[in-house]
Amino acid sequence: MTLPLILNLSVALAACFLLYRMQASHASFTKRVFTGLGLGVLLGGAFQMLYGTASPVIVETNAYLDIVGSGYVKLLQMIIMPLIMVSIISAILKLKDASSLGKISGLTIGILIATTMVAAAIGILMAKLFGLTAIGLTASAAEVARGEYMLGKLATAQELSLPSMVLSFIPENPFLDMTGARKTSTIAVVVFSIFIGLAATGIHKKMPDIFDSFARFIKVAHVIVMRMVTLVLRLTPYGVFALMTKVVAGSKPDDIVNLISFVAASYSAIILMFGVHLLLISAVGLNPVRFVKKIVPVLAFAFTSRTSAGSIPMSVQTQTARLGTPEGIANFAASFGSTIGQNGCAGIYPAMLAVMIAPTVGIDPWTMSFILPLIAIVAVGSVGVAGVGGGATFAALIVLSSLGLPVALAGLLISIEPLIDMGRTALNVSGSITAGTVTSRLLGETDMAVFNSDAELDLDSDEQVA
């Protein structure tokens, strides 16, 4: 272990100690998360100025920071499946009739897909305003390799169809899906949990003693799982700090400058889509400013971690404890939103790529005969997109191959992919939370006392389990 590495890690440990002291002094969770975010930006920038992006010292430092950053994400992923199962089963046991389940799932999925179509239209508009085109871009060795990788994945994307995607949601082996082995494992576990809940509800009148025993078991399991969620979420400021430090230290300013138009267009589209989410919140009679204040911590985590699926536990916690959304709806929205209708990865990104790449093969992307099929394909392709790293790539493959466009050209954007993916992931999570909040409000289930409360999310109390 070299002296520079020891110094780097010492500074990182000092930052973590500062975050610990803030927790011990009962600083708010939101303040700690943003402190971690700020410290990560400063430390990552300092590392880059001192050593340079490709320095071996940076690589070694990031490897150790990864223990905290990626370790935190893995802990979140560890609790996703248990959280989904016990929460959805518990919610179904409390439902008065099966029609409520249909309304919840129908509204949630409908909002997710509709907002993804809007996101695609915004992406197309921004590409037009910024004059984006893939004509004239040069490819480095890394970008060529990325293009070859995308070509290798093309066959898998071309085999997909809407029927096959829907079929993949059915859990042939639910225990395999509990390991997250497939891209659609999250939805498959949701489906399996629904079956368990409906089966238990079906014996309510015939075997009340057995039903009561099962309901008590689920209640106990739910309390334990939510306690696990609370313990893991306490580590959020440290995880955000480590993830942000690694991202900033490993970014290449020159690459960002070379493709600044695409970065600017992407974030303009992302910001506009956030505005659409707030319009939906306002349309159902909720205060958009209060909504933003309450979801900022989970968006900060999604931004730094770049995982929609990993954000599920914090998303559910935020929806239930701060927005007043019932657990059943919150879990449906967070679970479906990590796989279906991702506004950023499956909406904006593939639409912008399509209109950029189309001119390279002589297609005019600004005609309705191109734009309308593009938005329709985006809507269909947004079903079954993975909520972890690589989901945007898969969505782009589906859209580009469906339109007959050269998929390898998408590899030209590899140098700025992480920077844009951070904003896309935050938008994905905002979309799922918006879907849950709007669904809850439309069904008259929102606890307005909770939504209007200014109380912070308390993860430090030993009594906090939900």
For the stretch 196-211, pLDDT in tens is 988 988 888 889 899 9
Q: Among 31-40, 94-103, 320-329, 345-354, which stretch is predicted with the lowest mean pLDDT? A: 94-103
Higher pLDDT, residue 316 or 412: 316
- Segment 23-29 mean pLDDT: 86
pLDDT of 466 strictly over 50: no
* d(C-alpha 252, C-alpha 405), whole Å: 29
pLDDT at 259 over 90: no
pLDDT higher than threshold 90 for residue 277: yes
d(CA 88, CA 78): 17
Instruction: Tell whether the model's pLDDT for residue 465 goes beyond 50.
Output: no
- Is the pLDDT at 147 greater than 60, yes or no? no
Cβ atoms of 298 and 323 closer than 8 Å? no
What value does the mean pLDDT take over residues 124-134? 88
Backbone angles phi, psi at 457, to 5 degrees: -70, 115
177 Cβ partners below 8 Å, 6+ apart?
A: 171, 185, 188, 189, 192
* Largest separation between any pair of C-alpha atoms in the chain: 71
Between CA 365 and CA 371 the distance in angstroms is 7
Q: Which of 111-120, 148-157, 239-248, 413-422 has the lowest mean pLDDT?
A: 148-157
The arithmetic mean of pLDDT across residues 51-66, rounded, is 86
pLDDT one-digit tens code per residue, 281-304? 999 999 999 999 999 999 998 898
Query: Measuring CA to CA, how many Å separate 335 from each of 180, 242, 304?
Result: 13, 26, 20
**Percent of the chain topping pLDDT 70:** 84
Position 451 scores a pLDDT of 94
pLDDT at 464 over 60: no
Catalogue all structural domains in the chain, each as residue range(s) with its CATH number.
3-452 (1.10.3860.10)
Whether residue 136 is predicted with pLDDT greater than 70 in this model: the reply is no
User: Residue 67 — pLDDT band, cuts 50, 70, 90?
Assistant: very high
User: What token pair was written down for 44?
Assistant: 């990552």
3-state helix, strand, coil in the chain (%, to 5): 80, 0, 20
- pLDDT of 148 higher than 70: no
